[in-house]
């Protein structure tokens, strides 16, 4: 059996395959980097068709990261999966909404998800953060409501929650606002997709490429 062992060579070949498969697709500035990174993370080329970018979403997110904005995740899995070296290079602070104090108590008292409660708690303090939602549709609904109430002004929301209950509707609601957003169509998405999108934006913010020799 013949296979590659060098990690750089493996990555370069992966992105070469991805770019060849994407020939003929048209993306806005920076959008192809995001699409490539998502496909690299999932081995799923259908994301070239189902990722959606609002106007200026990539440029707004990149500019925010270059300013050292705070990034807020909906889950600890997303929080754990983000490259700390890239964050440090830009002076970006990373928070997981679920770490907010009192989430469990309020969630039980109100009979709503911890994701919704925690995101509301953190977003009201971090009103100009870049929000990353890959798992919890209710967290995304909370952000949309806060925006409509004038309580947050995010430079970008990455809204790609996965699920059969509420995920499609939450992403539709986000796309119905003026918030710069990167989303997926339908119920598909997930934490790995959200993390891949953020990594692509971090590379763009640093002016670095991925998967090239």
- pLDDT in 10s for each residue of the chain, 213 residues: 656 666 677 888 899 999 999 998 989 889 999 999 999 999 999 999 999 999 999 999 999 999 999 999 999 999 999 999 999 999 999 999 999 889 888 899 998 899 999 999 999 999 999 999 999 999 999 999 999 999 999 999 999 999 999 999 999 999 999 999 999 999 999 999 999 999 999 999 999 876 654
Cβ count within 10 A of residue 87: 17
CATH superfamily of the 26-205 domain: Cobalamin biosynthesis CobH/CbiC, precorrin-8X methylmutase (3.40.50.10230)
Known catalytic residues are 40
Nearest alpha carbon to residue 33 among 6, 1, 57: 57
Rounded Cα gap, residues 57 and 155, in angstroms: 8
pLDDT of residue 213: 46
Please count the residues of the chain. Answer: 213
Rounded Cα gap, residues 15 and 20, in angstroms: 8
pLDDT of residue 46: 96
Phi, psi of 133 (to 5 degrees): -120, 110
Rounded Cα gap, residues 195 and 31, in angstroms: 15
The secondary structure of the chain as a DSSP string is ------HHHHHHHHHHHHHHHTTT----TTHHHHHHHHHHHH--TTHHHHEEE-TTHHHHHHHHHHTT-EEEESSHHHHHHS-HHHHHHHT-EEEEGGGSTTHHHHHHHHTS-HHHHHHHHHHHHSTTPEEEESS-HHHHHHHHHHHHTTS---S-EEE----SSSHHHHHHHHHTSSS-EEEESTT---HHHHHHHHHHHHHHHHT--SS--
User: Between vectors from CA 71 to CA 183 and to CA 117, what angle results, nearest 5°?
Assistant: 80
Residues 6 or more apart whose CB falls under 8 angstroms from that of 55 comprise: 180
């Amino acid at each position: 059996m013949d296979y590659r062992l060098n990690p750089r060579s493996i990555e370069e070949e992966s992105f070469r395959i991805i770019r060849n498969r994407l020939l003929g697709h048209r993306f806005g500035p920076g959008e192809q980097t995001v699409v490539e990174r998502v496909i690299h993370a999932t081995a799923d080329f259908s994301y070239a068709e189902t990722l959606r970018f609002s106007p200026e979403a990539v440029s707004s997110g990149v500019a925010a990261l270059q300013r050292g904005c705070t990034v807020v995740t909906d889950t600890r899995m997303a929080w754990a999966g983000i490259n700390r070296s890239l964050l440090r290079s830009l002076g970006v602070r990373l928070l997981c909404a679920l770490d907010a104090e009192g989430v469990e108590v309020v969630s039980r008292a109100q009979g709503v998800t911890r994701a919704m409660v925690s995101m509301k708690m953190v977003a009201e303090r971090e009103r100009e953060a870049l929000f990353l939602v890959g798992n919890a549709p209710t967290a995304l609904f909370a952000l949309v409501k806060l925006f409509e109430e004038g309580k947050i002004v995010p430079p970008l929301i990455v809204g790609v929650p996965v699920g059969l209950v509420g995920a499609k509707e939450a992403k539709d609601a986000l796309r119905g606002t003026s918030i710069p957003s990167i989303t997926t169509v339908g119920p598909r998405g997930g934490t790995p997709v959200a993390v891949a999108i953020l990594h692509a934006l971090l590379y763009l913010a640093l002016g670095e490429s991925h998967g090239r020799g």
